[in-house]
Amino acid sequence: MTAKALIKDFEAIVGKDNVLTSEADLASYSYDAAVLPNAMPGLVVRPTTSEQLGKTVKLCNDNAIPMTVRGSGTNLSGGTIPSTGGIVVLTTALNRILEINEEDLYAVVEPGVITSKFAAEVAKRGLFYPPDPGSQTVSTLGGNVAENAGGLRGLKYGVTKDYVMGMTFFDVNGELVKSGGKTVKCVTGYNFTGLMVGAEGTLGVYDTITLKLVPPPAAAKAMMAVFDTVMDACRTVAAIIAAKIVPATLELMDNFTIRTVENFRKAGLPTEAQALLLIEVDGHPAMVEEDAAKVEEICKKNKAASVRVAKDANERNAVWQARRDALPALAKVKPTTVLEDATVPRSKIPDMMAALDDIAKKYNLTIGTFGHAGDGNLHPTILTDKRNTEEWHRVEAAIDEIFDRALALGGTLSGEHGIGMAKAKYMKQECGIAAIEYSKRMKSVLDPKGILNPGKLIVG
Amino acid sequence: MADPKKLVEMLKTLEDQLVTCMRCGMCQAQCPVFAQSGREGDVTRGKIALLTGLAEEMIKDPDGVNNKLNRCLLCGTCEANCPSGVKVTDIFLRARAVMAAYTGMSAAQKLIFQKLLTNPGLFNTLLDIGSKFQGIFTKPVDDILGTSCARFNAPIIGDRHFKTLAAKPLHADVPSLDTPAGVSKLRVAFFPGCVVDKIYPSVGHAVLKVLKHHGVGVYMPKGQACCGIPAISNGDVASFQEMVKKNIELFRKGDFDYLITPCATCTSTIKKIWPTYYEDKSDQVALAKIVEKVKDVSAFLVDVLKVSPTDIPGTKTVTYHDPCHLRNSLGVTAQPRTLLQATPGVKFVEMTDAASCCGSGGSFNLKFYELSQEIGRKKAQHVIDSQAETVATSCPACMMQITDMLSKAGASRKVRHVVELYADAL
Ligand SMILES: Cc1cc2nc3c(=O)[nH]c(=O)nc-3n(C[C@H](O)[C@H](O)[C@H](O)COP(=O)(O)OP(=O)(O)OC[C@H]3O[C@@H](n4cnc5c(N)ncnc54)[C@H](O)[C@@H]3O)c2cc1C
Ligand code: SF4
Ligand code: SF4
């Protein structure tokens, strides 16, 4: 229970309607999209202006109460599971697009703007905001920045961090700090923006974010290549890159995923295929034609059983429908879906795919793998039922081993889903003790009372 | 029965379904209630988490959970788009039944579901009285009709701009019908549904005119009961059984090829809810026959009678609102549009977000009038922005809500059922 006086203080800042205290309301902010135990917050507040947001942060700090900022709660690593009794600060009412500048190609947004709504607004002005996480219809830009979200277009267009030009954020005392700017070049002071991206709400609270926009590609072409072995598909990926072609999207689906998607949609996918590559090249129309032809040739040279190039918008849509169906189809197989995102250098994908096969066999688990082959970011998806304790133990052991193998291949724990609570314990293994100590020292100065999303990112 | 242990036990029966939600949160893009409030407790994921919390005894306050559970239009949009295939409607209806058994129903609810809607004769008499005295006879009618199917209390409460109860309900003009198949060689059973019968008899007349025009015989038995959705969505499973039973008794006697309704909600209730929730095993054969034959009127006209678009360009602009219960639960979206395009004189224009919920949701509108209004206002604005003179739809409950919202917005747009427009042009 949160003290009455404190509730009154929050109410004075954000208004009575924006302080939630009922058990049902609190319980509905006790989880996010991660498969982790719930934790009940003591209070939920929903600031509606920047000023209210700043005062909220200050009040939490003054009272030394842990606070967790929450956008849409779709992160997969427990980044928004609050401390028990802590405060959840919602950004969903801070959802204004403040500026879209067509001359200087940037936009300024509040953190609660929904990603796809923003992308649509930008598209209306004939511009392009490329980061497209699978959750874009619901995720917030603040959440994207705090997790450094990626998406299907990462290979050519990069990820969220490549689009954050600057921001204003509240430090733990509720002071507004300005960092970066609206110019392509900006070297004034430390690069706080770089530090804040991917910080998962542990160092400060974004107030406004300045995002880079680019001109959209004039044309695009999609294709689907079918392979008898994963190895051939992986070799193709390497060959495409070696030919100095950078597709906008280069996605891989394994046999289990292909079969599951086909079972779900009945779109005529080749269920015998060991791997599918879904490829899209974009850019200037003439270049797109040329690249598409080259990619097709490379696929064939690398033993693709067949290559289907989409002839029109419908066919292109069918290619991407197959990819969009991957998670929904897998998720329907079993009650619990554990979506991982271990990432390895591109050239190590065949080894990682083989490792995942071993792990599935060793722990007797069902794992479907799809992902961004172009950038080495795979999504091994473990299908299980967390109520089956014995199996759940095997799942946990398998996750540990997935990380071990990814790290051994020179990879990373998380390509895009963040560390949160789920992976904090593996951090040492990847970054080493010095990095953890450095983080802790920094944190102890920037957040001396440790109220900013405690328990996430750095532990121990 | 206010025994918390029992509640937990009953909720546990839902566990296998609750656990299929992977908490991805993608339903936040779909839910009209969440779009309005921005509160997690209002979105599907939140409601499911709350039910799970209650079942696992992590949450102690069932009333709080019940309140959230009721803040739902049962529009099915989340279910139609859920990546994990969670059976949302089924979970919510069952949970409401559990909750009703736990908290008990209010006296007014009991009166409506157990006495009125299961007893068509009494219900009709009462409404006849209501329609004559509406305006004078406020309070008691309000209480009695308050929580029923499609807000029959409408004209009575203060600032609502509802369509009033019809002076003469359909059943008063056409108590029953039993006509042979004509040129089409088909015979259909006709289930107008409560709202058409009592508030929009013109829609019922339009259906009958169209059927006659196409040479379709009609079996319309006297004394049809409510389809049961108001009862089951308020957790009253027993009354639901009675209502369905009455209807099965009536329709099993007829000989027909299809069962036609002009009400999206009735169609989807008969098709999806009856087979899942009707318990009497001895009626299963008759039930299966009805369920297999039920069809929305425009789907019947387009898919069976092959009514197709005319080439003659029309001038009367008409837009179309997709009722959730046709779109989400039955996937019927093309046929009503085709019917409009087949109507001489009509120029069909699409509105933005034709598929978004109008905010009616049966008794949701009564329990959460403000919220329902906010959702409805958006719909009205889309209608207005489409510049169409008329908005057509396929559900009388949507017609009431849209009429209310448009008239509040001071917009003079006509609200018609697609079949009325088609009938007008015959
Ligand atoms: C079905 C599905 C598909 C997904 N696909 C992808 C994908 O393709 N690529 C990808 O990268 N991720 C993906 N994700 C993960 C997730 O959607 C992203 O991490 C997303 O960026 C989270 O956004 P959110 O608004 O839900 O943030 P939340 O989950 O609410 O928060 C995430 C983090 O951001 C912090 N935060 C939020 N706002 C602020 C602020 N104003 N200031 C400081 N910190 C803040 C929170 O404290 C938290 O640590 C997917 C998730 C799901 C469920
Ligand atoms: S979209 Fe479906 S699985 Fe995802 S949170 Fe909502 S109900 Fe659960
Ligand atoms: S049925 Fe409709 S109102 Fe209810 S939770 Fe789903 S989307 Fe929201």
Asked if residue A148 is part of any domain, the answer here is yes
Give the whole-number percent of chain B exceeding pLDDT 70. Answer: 85
CA distance A136 to A108: 18
What is the pLDDT, as a whole number, of residue B134? 44
Question: How many C-beta atoms lie closer than 10 Å to residue A99's C-beta?
Answer: 13
Specify the 3-state DSSP secondary structure of A341.
coil
DSSP codes, B309-360: --SS---EEEEE---HHHHHHH---HHHHHHHHTSTTEEE-PPTTTTS--S-
pLDDT band at B108 (very low <50, low <70, confident <90, very high): low
Best CA proximity match to A403, nearest among A420, A435, A427, A437:
A427
Lowest mean pLDDT among B2-6, B175-179, B327-331, B340-344: B2-6
What length does chain A have? 460
The mean pLDDT of chain A is: 94
Give the domain CATH number at A139.
Answer: 3.30.465.10
What is the pLDDT, as a whole number, of residue B121? 63
Q: Under an 8 A CB cutoff, do A28 and B84 touch?
A: no
pLDDT tens-digit readout, B6-51: 888 888 889 999 999 999 999 999 999 999 999 999 999 999 999 9
Domain membership of residue A285 as a residue range = 217-333
The alpha-carbon gap from B77 to the nearest alpha carbon of chain A, in Å, equals: 15
Please give the backbone phi and psi of residue B229, each rounded to the nearest 5 degrees, phi first: -60, -40
What is the pLDDT, as a whole number, of residue B82? 92
pLDDT tens-digit readout, B201-227: 999 999 999 999 999 999 999 999 999
What is the pLDDT, as a whole number, of residue B163? 56
pLDDT tens-digit readout, B89-103: 999 999 998 988 887
Helix (H) or strand (E) holding B390: strand B390-393
| Contact list, B17 vs chain A (CB under 8 Å) | none
* CB B49 near ligand 2, within 6 Å: no
Topology match between the domains B4-103 and B308-424: no
Q: Answer whether B153's CB lies under 8 Å from B146's CB.
A: yes
CA distance A151 to B364: 38
Best CA proximity match to A320, nearest among A220, A442, A437:
A220
Q: How many domains does chain A have?
A: 4
CA distance A78 to A455: 10
Q: What is the pTM of this model?
A: 0.89
Pick from A59, A90, A121: which residue ends a domain? Answer: A90
What is the pLDDT, as a whole number, of residue B110? 62
| Contact list, B25 vs chain A (CB under 8 Å) | 32-33, 72-74, 135, 138
- Can you tell me the mean pLDDT for B358-373? 83
pLDDT tens-digit readout, B138-162: 333 333 333 333 344 333 344 554 4
For A331, which residue in chain B has the nearest alpha carbon? B84
Cα separations in angstroms, A23 against A13, B6, B64, B99, B209: 22, 21, 7, 17, 55
User: What residues contact B404, with CB distance under 8 A and at least 6 apart?
Assistant: B154, B160, B161, B162, B376
Best CA proximity match to B236, nearest among B143, B337, B344, B103:
B103
Shared domain for A102 and A43, answered yes or no, is: no
Amino acid at site A246: V
Give the domain CATH number at A48.
Answer: 3.30.43.10
Shared domain for A194 and A227, answered yes or no, is: no
CATH class of B308-424: alpha beta
CA distance A267 to A318: 8
What are the domain boundaries of chain B?
A: 4-103, 308-424
Q: Answer whether A382's CB lies under 8 Å from A408's CB.
A: no
Q: Which residues pair with A167 in a beta bridge?
A: A179, A209
What is the pLDDT, as a whole number, of residue B124? 62
Closest Cβ–Cβ partner in A24, A93, A386 for B38: A93
What is the pLDDT, as a whole number, of residue A29? 98
Asked if residue A440 is part of any domain, the answer here is no
Which residue shows structure tokens 């409030």?
A: B37
* CB A115 near ligand 1, within 6 Å: no
Q: Under an 8 A CB cutoff, do A27 and B22 touch?
A: no
| ipTM of the prediction greater than 0.90, yes or no | yes
pLDDT tens-digit readout, B224-256: 999 999 889 888 889 899 999 999 999 999 999
A36 DSSP 8-state letter: S
CA distance A456 to A146: 12
Pairing of strands B186-190, B216-220: parallel
Q: Under an 8 A CB cutoff, do B39 and A28 touch?
A: yes
Q: Kindly give the distance from the C-alpha atom of residue B49 to the centroid of ligand 2, in angstroms, as a whole number.
A: 10
Q: Kindly give the distance from the C-alpha atom of residue B400 to the centroid of ligand 3, in angstroms, as a whole number.
A: 20
Question: How many C-beta atoms lie closer than 10 Å to residue B426's C-beta?
Answer: 12
Shared domain for A244 and A327, answered yes or no, is: yes
Q: Dihedral sign, CA of A415, A416, A422, A424?
A: positive
pLDDT tens-digit readout, B373-406: 999 999 999 999 999 999 999 999 999 999 989 9
- Can you tell me the mean pLDDT for A364-380? 93
The fold of the B4-103 domain, in CATH, is Fumarate Reductase Iron-sulfur Protein; Chain B, domain 2 (1.10.1060)
pLDDT tens-digit readout, A277-335: 999 999 999 999 999 999 999 999 999 999 999 999 889 988 898 898 899 899 999 99
User: What residues contact A432, with CB distance under 8 A and at least 6 apart?
Assistant: none
CA distance A391 to A369: 19
